[in-house]
Structures are given as structure tokens and as C-alpha cells.
Amino acid sequence: MSTTTSSRGRRRAPTRMERAAGKAAALQKPRVILALLLLLGLTSVMLLDGYLRAEVGGDQRVRDGASGSNVPDKILNGGPIISFRNGQATTTSVPAKTIALTFDDGPNPTYTPQVLKILEKYDVPATFFVVGSMVSRYPSIVADMVDQGNEVGIHTFTHVDLSYQSDARIRREMTQTQLALAGAAGITTTLFRAPYSSETDAIDNYSWPVYERLGEEGYTSVFVDTDSDDWKKPGVSDIVKWATPSGTSGAAVLMHDAGGNRDQTMKALPEYIEKMKAKGYTFTTVSGVIEAQNAAARAAQQANAPAGATGGQLRGVNPNGTDRLQAAHREATGTTLYEGKALVAAVAVAEWTVPVLSVGLIIVGVAVMGRFGMMLILARRHYGQRNKRRFSWGPTVTRPVTVIVPAYNEKECIANTLESLAKSTHPIEIIVVDDGSTDGTSEISREAARALGMTNVRVIRQENAGKPAALNNGVRSASHDIVVMMDGDTVFEPDTVRQLVQPFADPEVGAVAGNAKVGNRDTVIGAWQHIEYVMGFNLDRRMYDLLRCMPTIPGAIGAFRREAVLQVGGMSEDTLAEDTDITIAMHRQGWRVVYQEHARAWTEAPGSLKQLWSQRYRWSYGTMQALWKHRKSLTDKGPSGRFGRVGMPLVVIFQIVTPVFAPLIDVFTAYSMIFVDFQAALYAWLAVLGVQLVCAAYAFRLDKEKYRYLLMMPLQQLAYRQMMYLVLIHSCITALTGGRLRWQKLKRTGEVGTPAGVGR
């Protein structure tokens, strides 16, 4: 048993690895923030799109038949236009033989342009009460509407009945619509029509306070005299008939340019205009009605005015001689204008992004389901092949092998590791490579070997250089032609090495992947990782093994022909995933890489979310590095090109592309639950979870694991999986920005030992 000495008893300077890890951690913070910002941006876009589409449509009031005892009689029996001056409500009626044509619920990209074309043809103005969310989605239509000389009013932002809403919600509905109008047409408006409103006699005690409050803020509330009821789609003739006032009465007429199929309205509108013009009617806007009444009032006031009175005194409205109700539109300026443009721009991004993401969701869904299907089918076939009685790798391998244990500050675990190797049923040589540990790992290794009576242990101490260098040192020092590599926090079962080396009976086999198990699975985080190891890693390895394109030999348990390792140049420091790197390199040299599911190792998984993030970030980023390094495998010829032709595309699709976009499933599930159909979205999510449970249960069956851990799977899907998404997104950002990390040491507890009863 050979050893090397180290200096003890004095304060040390940070090692090269510690300095590199600290520098890397500082560099990664901005990338983590960028990853979180990307996810936040995606979520914000989805929420904005959902909010724009929520509560729009449907022609049913929250309540009907409520009392109007608190509403003044002059309002209930007055005209359709209610305005407030000096705290007093007044109504305005439409003059005889005059039509104030109004449209609700738009703009709509199909019907509103048709309405505008008809109005332009007949030289008829109209007032459009628009829904703010629709304005923000179709701003150009509103701009055309205003440019044509029509008038716009507010119909709330989400078409909600305001009667039961809080003051904050009412304010939000009005303000957001004003911003949408500012961004779309550069204006704001003083006109308002409440969703589900009709004639003034329908105002009740619930809605009247809303009109009073909005009136105090300068809004004019507009009702109707004649409702075409076109939303009922009764037929063109009925729409025309119901929109026609009796005799020569004037009327505020209601039609719809959105909110459903309006084909009948489009046919009825020109017929209605021609009919009313033939009867001698003129068309005006709501502001036109108000101005007509004000003009009549001024004329009457002037006729009765004393000599020498001025025009401003006659009008008696504003000291500056203007009437703010003559025109409903106000030019948007300053903050309102810029906020409105920002809103319209944000909605434009959402309108473009969500359809693209929808297509991505379909692709991801097909890929995810395809992967599950492939894993189940190929894993079943793999299981069948490996359990045939006649199956054999060849003559039993009995010659000694070298077990290499790279160790960096493994004082908590190294004794357990050596104790498990002491029980090996296969002859082994053990080389512990201490990579500059500062916690006495090498001394603990020597003492453990001495206590266990192990004479087959060598401890080699080197200056801190990283895991690949430690493994290469062990390979160079190995006495045997087969080397088994394991981590210093891992324990083997007594039969593990014997099982692991049997595939080397086949001279084409250059490396063997073992079955890594989570030893500390009794915590929530440990149980989540246990499910992932059994389902995500080992079931995958069965698939890749059958396809002969195994991408990774786990660092916790793997075996190699020594000559094959030396042939590919040993463990490379080019990537963070030296295990994936060397596995692909061996494929490219023409060696076969296989999976031996009966060779089991128990490893200590990260015990905290911080450590888990660090480990998985290194894995995912290292895998990307390795794939990029070996990108030329896509053009390799013959057996050495099999990984490039089969493995590379599968790894890129299933381990990078699909996981990166897999959050779309959860995002759209949440989106659908909030804005579309909660029950249907929940059933869809449960269906996907059911498929995953089936796959996981089958993987547990193949590995002879206890099913009780699957009870944690729903929670794993809600919490753990989201973290893995962020880790992968973080890795992609690092790859795109050219980041570089070194091997990072995780904090260990040494709690993992060989499970009781195993191999005894």
C-alpha cells in the first residue's frame, strides 16, 4: 500500500480548484439571472395573452331584475345619453329623424373592416364602443376607424359586468382601455357604454353607483333607444325591423361588429342605412347628438339673453368658451401616449409569440410521447434479450481488475467506499487517487484499508488538478487491463465488479455502464432523484444500449479496457462531462459500449437544492460541450459513425431540445387552467402524468424497486422538474455565451452504505 505525504497544521492558501470554482460561481450569477428573466418574460407574455382573451364575448348579465329605487326618475325615464355636470346627472335624447348608430364589442378583424367599408360607402358616421383587449390586439383597425371620422367609446377592457367589481377593477378596466386607445390611435375618449347595458330604464341599484362614479371622472354613459338584437342572429329582416324607431323618433341604435358570427349584421347594415335615409333620417355620432342639443340650448338662451351678453356668457359652460362634450376624443400625450404604445407593442409580441409557442408545444408533445413510447418498447426488448437463458457475453471473466477511486475531500465517504470494495467477490486492485484533498482523505483511506486488512489498496496523492487528471493518473498506474471507475462517495455491492466486467468477454466491448442507484433516497430531494435515476437514466440506458449508441458511462460506476482509454487519449479536461466525452470518443474509435443493469452502485445524491443545481448544471453543460466537441461524429463512416448517425440526434432531441422546450407543457397547462378551461386542462395534465407514471412503474419493475416512491412523482412533476428546466436553460445560456466551469465538489455526509441484506 503506497502513500504520499502532505503538510498539516498550518493555514493553507486556496487550491487552484477552489479559486476556479469561486471565479466560476461569480460568473454564473448573471447567467442565472438571465435564465430567470427569460422564463419570467415567457410567463408574462402568456399571462398578457391570456388576460387579453379572458372574459370577452358572451351576452349574459351577472344579474337581472334588480331594483332601481335609488336611481332618479329623470334618469330612468330620460334619454340614452347620461352626463354629469357639477355633480348633477342629466340625460340627452336623440333628435327626431336622427340615428346615432353604435356598434359594440369590437374591433374584430373580420367584421369591423366590413362595417367601416359600408359606412364609408354611404357617408355615415358611427360610434364604436370598443373592448380594450381587442383594441390592443388590432390597433390598426381602430386607427382606421378614427381616421374615417367615426367616434370611439370605452366598453371596458375585458367585457366584464362592472356592477359587482371593486373600485380598483373598475379603474383598471377604464385605464387600460384608454391606454390601448392611446397606443392604437393616439387618443383617449370620454364616452362609455357598460357591457350588458340596454335602455336607461334598466339601470338598477347595483349599476347606478358605477355610472355616478364614472360621471364624476368626466365620462358620458351611453345607452340605447333601439336594440337590433343582431347577436341573436334572427335574420336580416328582423335586424332591420328591430333597429328601426317608431314614427319619426330619433334613436341611439345598437348593433355589434364583434362577439360572434356577424354575417347577418353585415347584410342588414346597408339595407338599414338605405331604409332610414329613404325615410329622411340623418346619421350622427353620440357627440353629434350632444352638440345638437347644446346648439339648441344656446340658441334658446341667446333668444332670451339680455342685450350686450357675450357668446361665452351665453354658453355658460366653461369660462374659456369651449364645451368639453362637443367631441369625445382627446389627444393622448405624455406618459399616457408612451404607455399606450408600450402596451400595444407588448400585445404584438404576445400575439406573435403565443402561436409560435403553440406549434412548439405540439412538436414537444409529440417528441415527449415518442420518447416514452421508444423507452417502453426498447426497454422491454432489452429486458427480454438479457434474460434469455442462452444469452452470454462469452467465457466468464475471472481475471483481476483495477478499481480507480478519484477522491477530493471525501473524508465522510471514503471509508464506506473501501469497506464495500473489501467485500467484492471479484479479485480487484484498488487505487485511491487523492486529488489534493485538505481534509485528510488519504490518511483516512490508509487507516480504513489497514483496519479492514486490505493489502490490495494503493493511495496516490497528487496536487489538485481535477477529476479527469486523477482518473488518468489511476489509469497509468493500473496493473490490470480492465479498469473500473467509481466516485469516492459511492459504494458497491459485493457482486458489482464481477457483474460489471462480464461484458468484456466480448472483444468488441470497450466500456460498460453500470446501474447507479440513489442511496440517500429517504428525503424528499433524494426520492425525486431516485425516480429520475431509475426512470430517466437507467430506462434510457436500456434504450441506448439496444440501439448501440450509449451516450454516457456514469462516473459513479463504469468499466473500461485500459488500452481503449489510452487509445482515445484518456479522460479529457476539455469538457465538464468527462464521462460523456470519453464514452463518445470510444464510440468513434469503433469500440462497443454496453449497459450492465445487474452491476449496481449506491451513490450519495445531492442533499440540497443548491448542490443539486450545481451538479445538474455541470452535467447538462458538460453534455453540450461533449456533443459539440464530437460534432464531426455526424460524418464518421462505418461502425465508428453509428453514434453520430443514431446517438447524437437522439441525445440532442431528447436530452437538450425537448427538455428546453418541455416547460411549454406546464406553461400552457397553467395558461389553460386560468384562461380557457380549468377542468379540461387538469385532465390533460393528469393524462400526461399518467403516461409518465406508467413508464416509471415499468422502469421500477425492471430494476426491482419499491413502487412506494412513485407516490412522490406528482410533487416531483410540480417542483423538481421545473428546477431541472431552469438548470438546462441556464446551461444553454452559458453555452451560447461561451462560459467555462471546472469540476465542482459537492458537500457529502457519508450516510450511504451498502443496503442491509444486499449480497449477504
The residues carrying an active-site annotation are 104, 256
Distance of alpha carbon 549 from alpha carbon 310, whole angstroms? 95
Tell which residue, 581, 182, 118, has the closest CA to residue 342. Answer: 182
Distance of alpha carbon 203 from alpha carbon 66, whole angstroms? 9
**Partners of 331 in the beta sheet?**
187
Query: What phi and psi, each to the nearest 5 degrees, are found at residue 435?
Result: -90, 65
- State the chain's maximal CA–CA distance in angstroms: 126
SS3 assignment, position 192 = strand
Quote the cell numbers at residue 252. 341611439
**Omega before 125 within 30 of 0, i.e. cis:** no
Distance of alpha carbon 589 from alpha carbon 213, whole angstroms? 80
Going by the DSSP 8-state scheme, the letter that residue 325 receives in this structure is T
**Partners of 433 in the beta sheet?**
406, 460
Distance of alpha carbon 406 from alpha carbon 433, whole angstroms? 5
Instruction: Decide: 521 and 703 in contact? Cβ < 8 Å.
Output: no
Q: Look-up: residue for cell 360607402?
A: 121
Distance of alpha carbon 647 from alpha carbon 642, whole angstroms? 7
Distance of alpha carbon 695 from alpha carbon 535, whole angstroms? 7
The one-letter code for the residue type at 360 is: G
Quote the cell numbers at residue 501. 466486467
Quote the cell numbers at residue 697. 412503474
The one-letter code for the residue type at 506 is: D
Instruction: Decide: 112 and 141 in contact? Cβ < 8 Å.
Output: yes
Quote the cell numbers at residue 242. 328591430
Q: Look-up: residue for cell 412523482?
A: 713
- Helix H or strand E segment including 295: helix 286-303
Tell which residue, 338, 295, 46, has the closest CA to residue 179. Answer: 338
Beta strands in 180-309 (DSSP E): 187-189, 191-192, 220-222, 226-227, 251-256, 282-284
Query: What phi and psi, each to the nearest 5 degrees, are found at residue 92?
Result: -130, 135
Q: Look-up: residue for cell 374584430?
A: 108
Q: How far is CA 1 from the centre of its chain?
A: 55
Going by the DSSP 8-state scheme, the letter that residue 124 receives in this structure is -
The one-letter code for the residue type at 74 is: K
Query: What phi and psi, each to the nearest 5 degrees, are found at residue 350?
Result: -65, -40
Tell which residue, 525, 554, 560, 520, has the closest CA to residue 538. Answer: 554
Q: How many CB atoms lie within 10 A of CB 635?
A: 9
Q: How many CB atoms lie within 10 A of CB 291?
A: 16
The separation between the first and the last C-alpha atoms of the chain, rounded to the nearest angstrom, is 28
Strand 490-492, strand 592-603: pairing: antiparallel
Q: How far is CA 293 from CA 91, 246, 300, in A?
A: 11, 21, 11
The one-letter code for the residue type at 400 is: P
